[in-house]
Chains A and B, each alone.
Chain A
Amino acid sequence: MGLLRIVAARELTERARSKAFLISNVIILAAIGGAAMLPQLLGDPGLHRVGITGHASAELATVVEAQAAGGGGTVEVVELDDAAAAESAVVDGEVDFAIVDGTTVLTDNGLPGSLEPVLQLGSQSLALEQALADAGVPPGERSRLLGGGTLTVEQISTPDTDREAAQDALATAGPVAYLAVVALYGLLIFYGQWVAQGIVEEKQSRVVEVVLSTVSTRQLLAGKVLGIGVLGLGQILLIAAAGTVALLFATEIEPPPGMAPIVAVVLAWYLLGYAIYALLFAVTGAIVARVEDLQSAATPIIIVIVAGFAAAQFALQNPTGTVAVVLGYVPLTAPLIQPIRVAAETATGVEIIIAAALGLATVAGLVPLVARLYAGGVLRTRARVRLRDAWG
C-alpha cells in the first residue's frame, strides 16, 4: 500500500504541474464564467419592451402581451408621445419595437419570432371590429362574432404522463444535467487517455524496467490509475464548485431543487466511468510502443465514449425512451446517461442500484484482465504487442 501511494502521488503531482492540466483548468473556468455571464450580457430574452403611441396601439399591445405570456415571456409597454418619439426610442434601443397609431410597427432588427403574424391578425380583428361597429352591430354581438372561436380542441390519445413529468423536471434541471454530462464526457476522454499516455511514456523512455524492479506491475498500474483519477476528481469538484458559484451569484437562474443529488450522481458516475475507461485505456497503453501510435489504438474506446455522449443528448430529449432506459444500464454508457435519468427524476432507486452494481461488476471483472494484459505488454517496449501475446 505504501508503494502504491508513492506511485499514485507521483502521477498526481507530476500531472498537476503539467501545462496541459493548467490550461484545461483555465479553459473550464473561462467556459463556466462565460456561460454564467452570457445571459446578463445579452439581456433577458423573455422580456420585450414595446413602445406605443395612440389608442389603437394600446389594443394591439394587449395582443402582444397575450402572445408573449403564452411563451413564458413578459412585455413591458412604454407609452410614447408621437411617431417621432417612437422612432428615436427604437433607434436608441429603449424599446424593441414600437407600434404607431395601430397601423405601423417600427423596428430596427425585425420582429422577434412569431410576432409579426400575431400583430397582423390583431390589427385585422381591430379593423373588423371597427367595421362592425360602423355597421351598427352592438358590442355584445361584436365580441361574440370576433372573440370566442367556435373551434373545440379534443385530445384523443392518453397523454404520456411519465414523459411529460420527466420533461417538466428537465425543464429546470436539464441545463445542469447537460453541463454535467459534457464535463463527464470531456473528463473521461481526457483522463482516460492520460492513463494510456502515461503507460506508453514509461515504455518508450524505458524507465518502466527501473520502476518495475521495485514495484509490481499491479502496483504501478493501480498507482497510475488512482493518481490520475484523483486529479480528475479534483477537477470535477472544481467544475462543480465553479458552476455552483456561477449559478448562485453570477446569474439570476435559480439552481434547480434537485441540484445536490445531481452533483452526487455525477461524482459517483465519474468514479465508475473513469475506473472502467481508465482500465480500457490502460490496455491500449500496454500494447503500444510509441505515443504516436496511441491515437489509433485508442480510437475504438473513444468511439464508444462519443456514442455514449450522443446517446446522452438523445436521452435529454426523451429521458423515458427505450434508448435512455437501456443505455442507462449498460456500464459503458451509463456514466453519461444516468445523470440525465436522475435529473429527469425518472430513475428509480432500483434502477440506480442495478446500474451502479453493473458498473462495479464491470470494474471488478476488468481489473484482473487488464492487470494481466498490462503485465504482459508493459515490458515489451520495442514494438506493438498483439493482445494475444500480451495475454499469453
Chain B
Amino acid sequence: MLELDDLTRHYGDVRALDGLTFSVEPGQVFGFVGANGAGKTTAMRIVMGVDRCDSGAVRWQGQPVDADARRQFGYMPEERGLYPKMPCRRQLTYLARLHGLSKSDAADRATRWLTHLGLADRADDKLEELSLGNQQRVQLAAALVHDPTLLVLDEPFSGLDPLGVDVMSEILLERAKQGVPAIFSSHQLELVERLCDAVAIIDRGRLVASGTVADLRRREQPMLRVDVDAPDPHGWVKGLPGVIGAEPNGQGVLIELAADADSDALLDAARAAGRVRHFGFVEPTLAQRYREVVVGPEEQVA
C-alpha cells in the first residue's frame, strides 16, 4: 500500500501541495484527477523522490519510502524522455540495471518488453529513429522493464493514439491483476472512470474527493429521471413531498430528492399523470462529479 500523508510543498509563494493525504491499495488502478497546476505532478515527483516535500510523509508498505523502495517503482514522468542517440535495447537494459537487475536479467527483460510491444525489429535502432508512437512504447517499456512493485505514471495516455491507449490500458489492468498497483494522472475522465478502481480528485494542492468510482458517483441526494407521456411532462412533479428540485430533461424531468424521500409515492404520482416510459435513479458521470467538487456548489448555481 502506498500512503501519502499530509504532504505540503511550496515553491516560493506558490503552494503546490497543501496537506495532501490519500492511499493506494494493493492491486488498485488509481486515477489521479485535477486541473493543471492542482499538484498532481508535484505529488508524483515527491513519491518518486525527484522532488522533496516541505512536510508530510510518503509510506510504502507501512515504511517511509526510501531509495531502495523507489528503485522497485516504475515511473513515467509528465515530460517524456530517454536518450535519443542510444539504441532502444541498450537504454532499456541500462535503466533496468539502475533498477537493480543483473546485467543478463536486464538484457533479457529489455528484449522481452520490446518484443511484447511489437518493437523487436527496432531493438537496436536509436530511439530518435523511431516514430513518436513507438518512442512512447519504449517509454512505457522503460517504466515496466524491471517488473515494478508500483507504477507511477504522469499523464500516460496523453499523446497516445487509440491503439496506444488500448495497449496502455491492458497493461495497467494486467499488472493490477498481479497485485501491482498503478497510480496515474489523466484529464480523460471517461478513461479514468472505465479503468480505475479508485480516484482522488485534487484542487489547489488539497484532496477534495476520493474513493471508489462508485462511491464518488453516488450522491447524498439521489436524482431521479422520469419520462411520462402527458400533456405537461413536468408539471405533475410540483408540490410533491420530498422533491427538492426539478428541471426539464428532454421528454421528461430530472428530480432531485431528499435523502429520505419516498420514491414509491413519486412513481404513483407519475402513473397518475400518464404512461411512465422511464423511471430510474441517475448517477452522475465522474466528469459531472468532478465539476461539482472542483468548481464548488455555490459557483455551480451561478
Q: Which residues of A contact B (CB under 8 A)?
A: 3, 6-7, 10, 14, 201-202, 205-216, 379, 381
User: Which of A205, A211, A379 counts the most chain B CB atoms within 10 A?
Assistant: A205
Does B264 reach chain A (CB closer than 8 Å)?
Answer: no
- Which residue on A lies nearest to B78, using beta carbons? A209
Q: Which of B70, B77, B85, B95 contacts A209 (CB 8 A)?
A: B77
* A211–B48 alpha-carbon span in the complex (Å): 11
Whether A208 lies near B81 (C-beta < 8 A) is yes
* A123–B218 alpha-carbon span in the complex (Å): 121
**What does the 1/0 interface line of B64-102 toward A look like (CB < 8 Å)?**
000100110101010111111110000000110111000
**What does the 1/0 interface line of B32-67 toward A look like (CB < 8 Å)?**
000000000000010011110000000000000001
Q: Which residues of chain B have C-beta atoms less than 8 A from A212's C-beta?
A: 49-50
* A10–B92 alpha-carbon span in the complex (Å): 12
Whether A207 lies near B82 (C-beta < 8 A) is yes
Whether B81 lies near A210 (C-beta < 8 A) is yes
Whether A6 lies near B81 (C-beta < 8 A) is no
Whether B75 lies near A210 (C-beta < 8 A) is yes
- Which residue on B lies nearest to A208, using beta carbons? B81
The distance from the CB of A113 to the nearest CB of chain B, in whole angstroms, is: 55
* A201–B67 alpha-carbon span in the complex (Å): 24
* Additional pairs, 20, CB under 8 Å, beyond known A6-B94, A14-B86, A210-B75: A3-B98, A6-B98, A10-B94, A14-B85, A201-B83, A205-B84, A206-B80, A209-B45, A209-B77, A209-B79, A210-B82, A211-B98, A213-B48, A213-B49, A213-B70, A213-B75, A214-B95, A214-B98, A214-B99, A379-B50
* A209–B49 alpha-carbon span in the complex (Å): 10
Q: Which residues of chain B have C-beta atoms less than 8 A from A10's C-beta?
A: 94
Shortest Cβ-Cβ A-B pairs, 8 listed: A206-B81, A214-B98, A207-B81, A209-B77, A213-B75, A213-B48, A206-B79, A205-B81
* A215–B100 alpha-carbon span in the complex (Å): 10
Q: Which residues of chain A have C-beta atoms less than 8 A from B142's C-beta?
A: 210
Q: Which residues of chain B have C-beta atoms less than 8 A from A211's C-beta?
A: 95, 98
Q: Which residues of chain A have C-beta atoms less than 8 A from B45's C-beta?
A: 209
- Which residue on A lies nearest to B94, using beta carbons? A10
Interface size on B, residues (CB 8 A): 25
Can you offer 12 A-B residue contacts whose CB atoms are under 8 A?
A7-B98, A14-B83, A14-B86, A202-B83, A205-B84, A206-B79, A207-B82, A209-B45, A210-B142, A213-B50, A213-B70, A215-B98
Q: Which residues of chain B have C-beta atoms less than 8 A from A210's C-beta?
A: 75, 77, 81-82, 95, 142
Whether B97 lies near A6 (C-beta < 8 A) is yes
- Which residue on B lies nearest to A382, using beta carbons? B79
The distance from the CB of B146 to the nearest CB of chain A, in whole angstroms, is: 9
The distance from the CB of A13 to the nearest CB of chain B, in whole angstroms, is: 9
The distance from the CB of A174 to the nearest CB of chain B, in whole angstroms, is: 42
Q: Which residues of chain B have C-beta atoms less than 8 A from A14's C-beta?
A: 83, 85-86
Whether A214 lies near B71 (C-beta < 8 A) is yes
- Which residue on B lies nearest to A6, using beta carbons? B97
* A56–B185 alpha-carbon span in the complex (Å): 103
Whether A205 lies near B83 (C-beta < 8 A) is yes
Q: Which residues of chain B have C-beta atoms less than 8 A from A202's C-beta?
A: 83
Q: A212-B50, A379-B50 are in contact. Are A207 and B83 (CB under 8 A)?
A: yes
Q: Which residues of chain A have C-beta atoms less than 8 A from B77's C-beta?
A: 206, 209-210, 213
* A316–B82 alpha-carbon span in the complex (Å): 47
Whether B86 lies near A214 (C-beta < 8 A) is no
The distance from the CB of B95 to the nearest CB of chain A, in whole angstroms, is: 7
- Which residue on A lies nearest to B74, using beta carbons? A213
Q: Which residues of chain A have C-beta atoms less than 8 A from B67's C-beta?
A: 216
* A145–B121 alpha-carbon span in the complex (Å): 96
Q: Which residues of chain A have C-beta atoms less than 8 A from B98's C-beta?
A: 3, 6-7, 211, 214-215
The distance from the CB of A40 to the nearest CB of chain B, in whole angstroms, is: 42
**What does the 1/0 interface line of B231-255 toward A look like (CB < 8 Å)?**
0000000000000000000000000
* A275–B99 alpha-carbon span in the complex (Å): 28
* A207–B94 alpha-carbon span in the complex (Å): 12
The distance from the CB of A32 to the nearest CB of chain B, in whole angstroms, is: 30
* A212–B48 alpha-carbon span in the complex (Å): 9
Q: Which residues of chain A have C-beta atoms less than 8 A from B51's C-beta?
A: 379
- Which residue on A lies nearest to B51, using beta carbons? A379
* A216–B83 alpha-carbon span in the complex (Å): 18
Q: Which residues of chain B have C-beta atoms less than 8 A from A214's C-beta?
A: 70-71, 95, 98-99
* A7–B91 alpha-carbon span in the complex (Å): 12
* A212–B86 alpha-carbon span in the complex (Å): 18
* A234–B96 alpha-carbon span in the complex (Å): 28
Q: Which of A3, A205, A216, A379 contacts B82 (CB 8 A)?
A: A205
- Which residue on B lies nearest to A13, using beta carbons? B90
Q: Which residues of chain B have C-beta atoms less than 8 A from A207's C-beta?
A: 81-83
Q: Which residues of chain B have C-beta atoms less than 8 A from A213's C-beta?
A: 48-50, 70, 73, 75, 77
Q: Which residues of chain B have C-beta atoms less than 8 A from A3's C-beta?
A: 98
The distance from the CB of B15 to the nearest CB of chain A, in whole angstroms, is: 18
Q: Which residues of chain B have C-beta atoms less than 8 A from A215's C-beta?
A: 98
Q: A14-B86, A216-B67 are in contact. Are A209 and B81 (CB under 8 A)?
A: yes
Q: Which residues of chain A have C-beta atoms less than 8 A from B85's C-beta?
A: 14
Q: Which of B48, B71, B79 contacts A381 (CB 8 A)?
A: B79
